[in-house]
Homo-oligomer: A and B are copies of this chain.
Amino acid sequence: MNEREIISIFDKLSRNKGRGLVQGIGDDCAVFKTGGDELWLVTMDTLVETIHFNNDWHPPFKLGWKSVAVNVSDIAAMGGNPTYAFLSLALPPDFSRQWLAEFSRGLAAACREYDCFLAGGDTVRSSEGIMITLTVMGHAAEDKILYRSNALSGDDIWVSGTLGSAAAGLDLCKRGRVDDGSVAPLVEAHCAPKPRLDLARRLATSGLVNAMIDLSDGLASDLAHICNQSSAGAVIQADLLPISGMVRDVAVELGKDPLHLALAGGEDYELLFTAPARNRNEIVSLADTGLLTRIGNMEKRPGVRLSFGISGGKSLPPKDITFLGFDHFKE
């Protein structure tokens, strides 16, 4: 049973219609009307000790930061403005006061940075390990919200920043290199990601973009979400993927394929979006030089394919990478 099968159980049970609900299960956030001028967005993300983080090397300040950041990234991916955060924190009997103080400082710092209030929540005991669930709410103008479902065949596919950093950083942490200054940006990408909130707002308000998602499960999976929700497919070009020199170097060192880190690594919290080709120049002008990369195009044919272009005069066949990537429940 994989994560999508589990989600589909709840999707079938839910009545995703009526009473102001514009978008239920199936996007980065739920979207609903309240009678005010703007729509409201809600997202919820859980971090579990030993599954999503490890207290041996994840500093509590950065974990508090990340708990907020991963939710803010979902709000950003729909073009929203974070407003309120709600925290449910499960702590084991032996939790340390020092850990809690640092964690809450990091959480508060991220709330300040992304302009949302901690407005409520729940604290409970766990039998073992720490579990952190945040619900973040935000708002956006109705006609500026970007869904996963509006990508069109022929759209350019864009990504912000570089890919694979967080996955490389996680691997480095596991190998005891959390304090290795030479790979600090990768460790930071895993421990304290910075969601692209400002860029996302510029993209959403520009009217130039058709569909957007944040990269949490990995490019191959998150692009498959856009394809499924838009009833379309995608081809991306391997040689266009933005992978930093540091990720390439570390991948060699760790015996990993940098392409696999970029496609399936997850947790980059970059933006993935699609836009008509005629908007290329205007889109580039919205971001700092080099921050946005075109990596392929939407197609009619379903699925996500990776194209290798011409290698040594021969064209390699494209590879199906639909939902290649992170799945919490993959067996």
Contacts and interface: CB of A to CB of B under 8 A. Distances in A.
A104 to B, nearest CB: 5
A40 B119 CA distance: 12
Contact of A44 (B14, B15, B88, B128): B88
A89 B6 CA distance: 10
Given A13-B108, A100-B6, A104-B13, A51 B125 contact: yes
Interface stretch (A27-35, A161-169, A172-180): A27-35
A125 B329 contact: yes
Contact of A122 (B34, B36, B44, B107): B44
A281 interface: no
A42 B137 contact: yes
Contacts of A50: 127
Contacts of A42: 84, 86, 119-120, 135, 137
A90 interface: yes
A21 interface: yes
Question: Which of A6, A128, A129, A135: most chain B Cβ within 10 A?
Answer: A135
A126 interface: yes
Contacts of A25: 118-121
Contacts of A30: 84, 86, 119-120
A89 B88 CA distance: 12
Contact of A14 (B18, B117, B125): B117
Interface in A94-142: 97, 100-101, 104-105, 107-108, 111, 117-129, 131, 133, 135, 137, 139
Interface string A1-22: 1010011011001111011110
A15 B328 contact: no
29 contacts: A6-B123, A9-B104, A10-B107, A10-B118, A10-B123, A13-B104, A13-B111, A14-B119, A15-B111, A20-B83, A30-B84, A30-B120, A32-B84, A35-B37, A35-B38, A36-B36, A40-B40, A42-B86, A42-B119, A43-B120, A44-B121, A46-B122, A46-B133, A48-B127, A48-B131, A86-B135, A122-B133, A128-B128, A133-B133
Contacts of A121: 10, 25, 44
Copies of this protein chain in the complex = 2
A114 B111 CA distance: 32
Tier of interface size on chain A: 35 or more
A129 B124 CA distance: 15
Interface string A54-80: 000000000000000000000000000
A29 to B, nearest CB: 7
A87 interface: yes
Contact of A90 (B48, B86, B101): B48
A16 to B, nearest CB: 7
A249 interface: no
A86 to B, nearest CB: 5
Contacts of A90: 46, 48, 131
A52 interface: yes
A239 interface: no
B125 A131 contact: no
A302 interface: no
Nearest to A51: B125
